[in-house]
């Protein structure tokens, strides 16, 4: 079976972990610091703050911007639930804006109408490895005095007009095993702002600036040196991993028939966390079945938009219709694109999709 995701762990990561275990410093220590420095360099920002997950990175970033009860944060409904839940954790309310059906990312043209007196921030989600259209989002945020908290959990090293995601405001990355690089579990906050970085470090460590003096409520969101050692080695491989993802995607772009392949606007660099096609409604499930029978894994990211999740409707009272997002949820299908997908695998994937689509007309 060609799996939809596969972490690529080599001897370098294994050796690095053994070194940490032998060093006697296994919780947050020098590897975390080194990983933060290397990650900040990769993004082109002054600071990176490591956490336990992408979710805690988002949560911490929101808190560092002072977001809490009574506030609203504008975000995309077409994302993993953690984007919106991290807003809920602070006591604030996510306000969902429909997506651009071509890129699957938040539609900047719809953001302004969603701004209220309670709005404090915009959380663009760079979904599947493609940056949001940042120029209009930054312009709206500046005009309304809103913070930008980028959910870059799926977009390590993605580029928008020459600039890396995670550097437009405060960025949050995930290092979960399916992501473009991993630390097993982990997250990273990126920012140029000295004060925000300092606040994130304090929130990560029980609100502690001076040992056992606690100025505010914080958490234990510390990354361990064991995780950081894996992350550091993975970061060295990010460029290579990204190039393989891009060349795998290019092959599928050039050869798939009967489905709509991912679109990359001029000036963007897609890093293909997912290779997501659109399949005419009604054909997606039979196609998935056919792919499975032919040894090709696939997945639907995401079958239910956040505003249509049971808990958001029943407990939180969301009764929204966001048609482009809802249509996407019915039509998207992600195919294997990760660096372990071989040229022979690509032939298998393309042949299986094309055979099904050709015979289903």
Ligand X SMILES: Cc1ncc(COP(=O)(O)O)c(C=O)c1O
- Paired sense of beta strands 170-174 and 187-191, if any: antiparallel
| Greatest Cα pair distance in the chain | 68
Q: In terms of CB distance, is 270 or 283 closer to ligand X?
A: 270
Q: Select from 20, 82, 106, 277 the one that contacts ligand X (CB under 6 A).
A: 82
> Can residue 76 be called a binding residue for ligand X (CB under 6 A)?
no
Q: What is the dihedral of CA 138, 142, 146, 152, to 10 degrees?
A: 20
Q: Select from 153, 228, 259, 325 the one that contacts ligand X (CB under 6 A).
A: 153
Burial class (CB in 10 A: 0-12, 13-18, 19+), 27: exposed
Distance of CA 27 to the CA centre of its chain: 25
Is cis: bond before 9, omega within 30 of 0?
no
* Stretch touching ligand X by CB under 6 A, among 150-158, 208-216, 281-289, 337-345: 150-158
Q: Select from 20, 64, 125, 341 the one that contacts ligand X (CB under 6 A).
A: 125
* Stretch touching ligand X by CB under 6 A, among 76-84, 162-170, 189-197, 254-262: 76-84
Burial class (CB in 10 A: 0-12, 13-18, 19+), 198: middle
Q: In terms of CB distance, is 165 or 252 closer to ligand X?
A: 165
What is the Cβ-side half-sphere exposure of residue 165, based on CA atoms within 13 angstroms?
31
What is the C-alpha to C-alpha distance for residues 209 and 326, in angstroms, rounded to an integer?
45
Helix (H) or strand (E) holding 122: strand 119-123
Total residues at the site for ligand X (CB under 6 A)? 14
- Shortest distance, CB of residue 59 to ligand X, whole angstroms? 9
- Shortest distance, CB of residue 339 to ligand X, whole angstroms? 18
- Shortest distance, CB of residue 348 to ligand X, whole angstroms? 26
Contact string (CB under 6 A) for ligand X, positions 24-53, x = contact = -----------------------------x
Compute how many other C-beta atoms are within 10 angstroms of the C-beta atom of residue 138: 17
* Stretch touching ligand X by CB under 6 A, among 1-9, 94-102, 151-159, 335-343: 151-159
- Which of 127, 136, 135 has the alpha carbon at shortest distance from 154? 127
Q: In terms of CB distance, is 78 or 268 closer to ligand X?
A: 78
> Can residue 54 be called a binding residue for ligand X (CB under 6 A)?
yes
> Can residue 107 be called a binding residue for ligand X (CB under 6 A)?
no
Q: Write the DSSP symbol of residue 247.
A: H
Tokens of 201: 């470090």
Rg of the chain, C-alpha, whole Å: 20
* Stretch touching ligand X by CB under 6 A, among 75-83, 240-248, 310-318, 352-360: 75-83
> Can residue 55 be called a binding residue for ligand X (CB under 6 A)?
yes
Q: Select from 75, 83, 131, 298 the one that contacts ligand X (CB under 6 A).
A: 83
> Can residue 73 be called a binding residue for ligand X (CB under 6 A)?
no
Chain residue at closest Cβ approach to ligand X = 54
Q: Select from 75, 103, 154, 242 the one that contacts ligand X (CB under 6 A).
A: 154
Q: How far is CA 316 from CA 120, 123, 138, 197, 319, in A?
A: 20, 19, 29, 31, 9
Q: In terms of CB distance, is 53 or 170 closer to ligand X?
A: 53
Helix (H) or strand (E) holding 191: strand 187-191
What is the C-alpha to C-alpha distance for residues 329 and 300, in angstroms, rounded to an integer?
8
Q: Select from 28, 75, 79, 274 the one that contacts ligand X (CB under 6 A).
A: 79
| Interface residue list for ligand X (CB under 6 A) | 53-55, 79-80, 82-83, 125, 151, 153-154, 174, 176, 187
């Amino acid at each position: 079976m060609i799996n939809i995701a596969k972490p690529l762990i080599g001897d370098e990561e294994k050796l690095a972990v053994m070194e940490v275990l032998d060093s006697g410093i296994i919780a947050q220590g020098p590897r975390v610091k080194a990983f933060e420095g290397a990650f900040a360099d990769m993004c082109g920002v002054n600071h990176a703050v490591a956490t336990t997950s992408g979710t805690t990175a988002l949560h911490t970033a929101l808190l560092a911007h002072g977001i809490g009860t009574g506030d609203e944060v504008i975000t995309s409904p077409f994302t993993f639930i953690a984007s919106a839940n991290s807003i809920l954790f602070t006591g604030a309310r996510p306000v969902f804006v429909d997506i651009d059906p071509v890129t699957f990312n938040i539609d900047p043209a719809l953001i302004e109408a969603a701004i209220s007196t309670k709005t404090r921030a915009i959380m663009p989600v760079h979904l599947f490895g493609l940056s949001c259209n940042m120029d209009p989002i930054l312009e709206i945020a500046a005009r309304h005095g809103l913070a930008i908290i980028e959910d870059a959990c799926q977009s390590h090293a993605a580029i928008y007009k020459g600039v890396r995601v995670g550097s437009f405001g405060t960025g949050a990355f995930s290092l979960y095993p399916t992501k473009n690089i991993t630390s097993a579990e982990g997250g990273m906050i990126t920012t140029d702002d000295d004060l925000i970085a300092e606040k994130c470090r304090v929130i990560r460590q029980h609100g502690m600036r001076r040992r056992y003096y606690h100025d505010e409520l914080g958490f234990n969101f510390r990354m361990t040196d064991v995780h950081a050692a894996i992350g550091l080695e993975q970061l060295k491989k990010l460029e290579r991993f990204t190039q393989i993802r891009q060349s795998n995607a290019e092959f599928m772009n050039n050869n798939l028939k009967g489905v709509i392949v991912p679109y990359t606007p001029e000036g963007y660099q897609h890093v293909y966390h997912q290779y997501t096609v659109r399949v005419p409604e009604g054909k997606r499930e039979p196609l998935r079945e056919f792919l499975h029978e032919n040894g090709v894994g696939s997945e639907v990211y995401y079958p239910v938009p956040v505003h249509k999740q049971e808990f958001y409707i029943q407990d939180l009272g969301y009764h929204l219709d966001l048609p482009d997002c809802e249509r996407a949820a019915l039509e998207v299908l992600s195919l294997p694109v990760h660096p372990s997908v071989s040229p022979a695998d690509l032939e298998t994937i393309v042949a299986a999709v094309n055979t099904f689509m050709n015979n289903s007309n």
